[in-house]
Amino acid sequence: MSKPIRLAVIGAGSAQFSLGLVRDLCLADSLAGSTVVLMDLDEQRLATTTALARRYAGELGKHLTFAKTTSRETALEGAGFVINTALAGGHRREEAERALVQSCGYYRGLYPSESGFYQYDLMLQVARDIERICPDAWLIQSSNPVYDGVTLITRETRVKTVGLCHGPFGGIREIAKVLGLDYEEITFEAPGVNHCVWLTSFRYRGEDVYPLLDRWIAEQSEDYWRHWTPKFHDTQMSPAAIHMYKLFGLLPLGDASRAIWTDAWWYNQDLESKRRWWGPEGGFDSEIGWQRYLDHLTEDLKALATAAADPKAKLTELFPPRTSGEQIVPIIDALHNDRRGNFIVNVRNDGAIDSIPDNVAVEVRAVVDGRGIRPLRTPRLPDLVMLGAIWPQILVMERRLAAFKTRDPRFFLQYLLFEHRTRSLEHAEETLAAILHMPGNERMLAHFEARA
């Protein structure tokens, strides 16, 4: 028997994400009859997404009700679950800031994105609106930075919050493909913080996979890389990931091999070094790989807009009715219908990983059911990983959150001073001034000036 929910999706104008979510909802019979409120500030994209959602559910004969609104408050009224997938300012703001910071001498910008201020502000606004309008709702934070965002929200509000990222599962699938393993028979543990998780346990049919990985590295890796033609997002078995395994003693999983920019700068100095470590295009974050990603998003959006304009187009051919593998709908089902499951989540630590402060968000396995989300305790990660990767990530996040919360730009300056590409104090000060006075950053400038 179905038990419907009321779900609000913030940032629903991302049709690719929203239609994938709708597909998973359509395939979850236990949530039949649910109402999905799609919210976005871009009315045209919102209208396209809503029309596609209704048509998709109709093609499958599923009973879901869709509403659209540009008002966040309206979307949240009566919601039992809220998904925040919004990117403040979109990729246009992100690219403009990246170009500015690159002109200041920081190849490919800063990591995390220098636009974090706007994301922090948006995430906190959403959470405070939930506290006020639908305080019993669960907030699922899916837009980046998940790590910073979940830490901020759980410190500043009482909202029940979980962050989700698909990176670990993509990494495991890539390892399985390269090593010739059946993905369904792999079990693993990969604790850490979002985009910085490490395979502490990796088993196939009960046997440790690390010896098999070691043999592949010794006997096959060089030949594999010699003929390697990776897609822009194939990073798991890259020379960088394997080198990090040798350097840290554990294999980084998913986005971890490319996202710990601050403490792995030597892979990312310029396009030549990126090509050495990530393949011919320089990996996902190079100017080539990232442009290919943006082009891919544009092509998908055009294809969906074309389908929306053609009433005869079969959406189930663009999005075949099979589950995506994402955790969002299964977690909603587990929480709402008390279906006990085991998931990888980003939640407040509260003792789940030894030696990480309780009020920092961690990415760990958790048991989820009608009683909530209960992270499983995991042993302390090795010192090589903690000192070389985890703690640097924590410190970057803490400086940026401190800048946002205290309105003190000296924390932002600290962030720049500890960045390996900063040449001098004057260089850091000039870069900070350029960011704060960039056209379009007036609200960010006013935020810091308000402290004076």
What span, in angstroms and rounded, lies between the C-alpha atoms of 9 and 210?
40
- Residues 158, 11: one domain? yes
Burial class of 202 by CB neighbour count within 10 A (0 to 12, 13 to 18, 19+)? buried
- Residues 68, 112: one domain? yes
Q: What is residue 305's predicted lDDT score, i.e. its pLDDT?
A: 83
Query: Which CATH number is 133's domain given?
Result: 3.40.50.720
- Residues 267, 127: one domain? no
- Residues 151, 277: one domain? no
Tokens of 90: 């979109």
DSSP state of 353: B
Residues carrying an active site annotation: 166, 255
Q: What is residue 94's predicted lDDT score, i.e. its pLDDT?
A: 87
The answer to whether position 300 is within a domain reads no
The answer to whether position 328 is within a domain reads no
User: CA torsion angle for 39, 75, 362, 282 (degrees, to 10)?
Assistant: 0
| DSSP conformation letters of 304-322 | HHHHHH-TT--HHHHS-SS
- Residues 73, 197: one domain? no
Bridge partners for 362 per DSSP: 347
- Residues 150, 278: one domain? no
CA end-to-end span of the chain: 59
What span, in angstroms and rounded, lies between the C-alpha atoms of 431 and 415?
11
Residue for token pair 């760990």: 364
Contact between residue 86 and residue 38 where contact means Cβ atoms under 8 Å apart: no
What span, in angstroms and rounded, lies between the C-alpha atoms of 403 and 149?
14
Residue for token pair 């010794």: 218
Residue where a domain stops, chosen among 139, 164, 189: 164
Q: What is residue 232's predicted lDDT score, i.e. its pLDDT?
A: 64
Q: What is residue 252's predicted lDDT score, i.e. its pLDDT?
A: 96
Tokens of 33: 């009859």
The answer to whether position 194 is within a domain reads yes
The answer to whether position 341 is within a domain reads no
- Residues 138, 237: one domain? no
Residue-level pLDDT, tens digit, the chain, 452 residues: 779 999 999 999 887 788 899 999 999 999 999 999 999 999 998 999 999 999 999 999 999 999 999 999 999 999 999 999 999 888 888 889 999 999 999 999 887 666 689 999 999 999 999 999 999 999 999 999 999 999 999 999 999 999 998 888 889 999 999 999 999 999 999 999 999 999 999 999 999 999 999 999 999 999 999 988 877 667 899 999 999 999 999 999 988 888 776 667 889 889 999 999 999 889 888 999 999 988 988 888 888 888 888 888 899 988 899 998 899 999 999 999 999 999 999 999 999 999 999 999 999 999 999 999 999 999 889 999 999 999 999 999 999 999 999 999 999 999 999 999 999 999 999 999 999 999 999 999 999 988 75
- Residues 146, 250: one domain? no
Burial class of 103 by CB neighbour count within 10 A (0 to 12, 13 to 18, 19+)? exposed
Angle at 264 between CA 263 and CA 270, to 5 degrees: 130
What span, in angstroms and rounded, lies between the C-alpha atoms of 202 and 206?
9
The answer to whether position 298 is within a domain reads no
User: CA torsion angle for 181, 253, 369, 339 (degrees, to 10)?
Assistant: -30
Q: What is residue 255's predicted lDDT score, i.e. its pLDDT?
A: 86
The answer to whether position 297 is within a domain reads no
Q: What is residue 307's predicted lDDT score, i.e. its pLDDT?
A: 85
Q: What share of the chain is helix, strand, coil (3-state, %, to 5)?
A: 50, 15, 35
- Residues 86, 183: one domain? no
Tokens of 98: 């990246």
Q: Cβ–Cβ contacts within 10 Å for residue 265, how many?
A: 15
Residue where a domain stops, chosen among 285, 302, 335: 285
User: In the β-sheet with 186-189, what is the strand arrangement from edge to edge?
Assistant: 186-189, 201-204, 207-208
Number of domains comprising the chain: 3
The answer to whether position 86 is within a domain reads yes
Range of the domain at 221: 167-285
The answer to whether position 280 is within a domain reads yes
DSSP state of 387: I
- Residues 117, 17: one domain? yes
Residue where a domain stops, chosen among 113, 139, 164: 164
Q: At what angle do helices 210-219 and 239-248 cross, to 10 degrees?
A: 120
- Residues 137, 48: one domain? yes
Q: What does residue 9 show for φ and ψ, rounded to 5 degrees?
A: -115, 110
In a 3-state reduction of DSSP, which class is residue 146? helix
Q: Cβ–Cβ contacts within 10 Å for residue 196, how many?
A: 24
- Residues 280, 426: one domain? no
Q: At what angle do helices 239-248 and 271-278 cross, to 10 degrees?
A: 80
